Structure 1
Amino acid sequence: MNNHEIDYKIYGDDMQFVEVELDPDETVVAEAGSLMMMEDGIHMETIFGDGSAAAGGGLMGKLFSAGKRVLTGESLFMTTFTNTSHEKKHVSFASPYPGKIIPMDLSEYNGKIICQKDSFLAAAKGVSVGIELQRKIGAGFFGGEGFIMQKLEGDGMSFVHAGGTIHKKELSHGEVLRVDTGCLVAMTSEISYDIEMVKGVKTALFGGEGLFFATLRGPGTVWIQSLPFSRLASRVFAAAPSRLGAKDEGSLAKGIFDVFSGD
């Protein structure tokens, strides 16, 4: 695969963004809506799919590539950023919620990484963003990510985003790691992935950790996130005041409520 070789720098701690340095005629591909800023001389274009060589084959090939993205819950379109000037230029992409940006050189992981379906942020042009179907029924129904996960293929740089603190762990041959299904960010293709039910009725019903967890078996590398976005969203939703309780809130909202209620 002929991936563009890009340089990068990650800024920030918990609200990170990645700055990509492009040489003349180099291109980076990103999810629609992830752009933070770019310098003059960079041409932005919306494309079907990921623009990789794997998406070739004319119009039908491009439509098939874009259609696969719909299955992962992503947009039909992606955006390319190409340096059309004669000097180095920079373009930056921001993470969508608090967490970390993980740079991955796919050439160091046998050219393939499997990740959760909403984690991809950007990559060098030539990296293929496809789907990975879970072959095991248990992993498909109860894995938190369903039957479909994303796969990144190629030999270039990719950037994946995840929530909270990221822990990278190397698993030796036969070593087993059990994690919450939502905390799994990415894994190398050698990892054996399955879903295991929590043992014990009391633990399953009252443990607060759900009925299932992911079982990862080495050898390979896995990336774990401490704060899945689904967990963050559920806590925010649970803490949000109800409409009936808006008048009791000691905030600006209470003042607005009083004006319209005539108090």
Structure 2
Amino acid sequence: MKNHEIDYYIHGNDMQFVEIELDPQETVIAEAGSLMMMEEEISMETIFGDGSSNGVSGLMGKLVGAGKRLITGESLFMTAFMNNGHDKKTVSFASPYPGSIVPLDLDELGGRIVCQKDAFLCAAKGVSVGVDFQRKLGTGFFGGEGFIMQKLEGDGMAFVHAGGTLHKKELQPGQKLRVDTGCLVAMTKEIDYNIEFVKGVKTALFGGEGLFFATLKGPGTVWVQSLPFSRLASRVFSAAPSKGGSKGEGSILNGAFDLFGGD
């Protein structure tokens, strides 16, 4: 076991947070801004990358880890939380928007998980947070998350966040699943991932589901979310008033009344 062994408990239903129990000298790494609360004698330290050397020691190892995060569009830095006391202490991390926190035991999942670059929340120290370059150009240009996705490697616990309701699906060898590109949260390393164009001109232009979807081919495990943050943000933006005031709901007459409302 190279990664720190951590115990955890997930609280809540729609707005979850994960409480992680650290033994003395155990450490957990997390994205900046995800901390909810922590007990005394837990120290915080800003580190380059994910804190794992990935077989490269010293300054070069830190630069490699930080550089991988920069490629994914994340910050160069992460935060490490260490228990400096003599008893067990807890630290908690909250999800950034309504949804579910997914615990992933990398040791049981073959040592590697591929996920959306914004899905990672926290992990035991020693877990490598890298990049996964998609081999097919179509995946890179039209995959919704770009050519690069995050790759979590190691034998410890990692936690990712999914929007809305989370669904875990086991794919048999040769079984295919087509998913909206934004709804894909994570998948095991055996999954063959590609992008397909929506067939039919009318469907592509007027179907309202976008021009592309992800095709996942088993064997392997896939985690899917019902409400990607991009979809939530799009609906909120479209419902917001364009010039101040409030946007009426429930009747087409609201638009007529707005003419006399002075807004």
Shorter-chain TM-score tier: over 0.9
Following superposition, the deviation at residue 230 of structure 1 comes to 0.2
Q: 1:36 and 2:70 equivalent?
A: no
Runs of 4+ aligned structure 1 residues displaced above 4 Å come to 247-250
Number of equivalenced pairs: 249
Q: Which has the higher helix share?
A: 1
Deviation sequence 1:156-210 (CA, Å, 0-9, x none): 0000001000000000000000000000000000000000001111111110000
2:140 corresponds to: 140
Q: Structure 2: any 5+ residue segments left out of the alignment? A: 250-263
CA distance in 2, matches of 1:185, 1:47: 26
1:226 corresponds to: 226
Q: 1:114 and 2:117 equivalent?
A: no
1:3 aligned counterpart, secondary structure? coil
TM-score when normalising by structure 2 = 0.92
TM-score when normalising by structure 1 = 0.92
CA distance in 2, matches of 1:248, 1:85: 53
User: AA paired with 2:165?
Assistant: T
CA distance in 1, matches of 2:49, 2:67: 8
Q: How does 1:220-259 map to 2 (within 5 A)?
A: 220-243=220-243, 245-246=244-245
Q: How does 1:176-191 map to 2 (within 5 A)?
A: 176-191=176-191
2:53 corresponds to: 53
CA distance in 2, matches of 1:212, 1:247: 35
Residues 248/49 of structure 1: CA separation in 2 closer, same or farther (3 Å cut): closer
Q: 1:130 and 2:127 equivalent?
A: no
Following superposition, the deviation at residue 61 of structure 1 comes to 2.2
Following superposition, the deviation at residue 71 of structure 1 comes to 1.3
1:109 aligned counterpart, secondary structure? coil
CA distance in 2, matches of 1:95, 1:101: 7
Query: Does the CA-based 8 Å contact 2:27-2:81 persist in structure 1?
Result: yes
Q: 1:200 and 2:212 equivalent?
A: no
1:98 corresponds to: 98
Following superposition, the deviation at residue 52 of structure 1 comes to 1.1
Deviation sequence 1:57-105 (CA, Å, 0-9, x none): 2212212210110111111100000000000000000001111000000
Following superposition, the deviation at residue 54 of structure 1 comes to 1.0
1:159 corresponds to: 159
1:110 aligned counterpart, secondary structure? coil
1:81 aligned counterpart, secondary structure? strand
CA distance in 2, matches of 1:172, 1:207: 30
- The CA RMSD over aligned residues, in Å, is 1.4
CA distance in 2, matches of 1:200, 1:131: 34
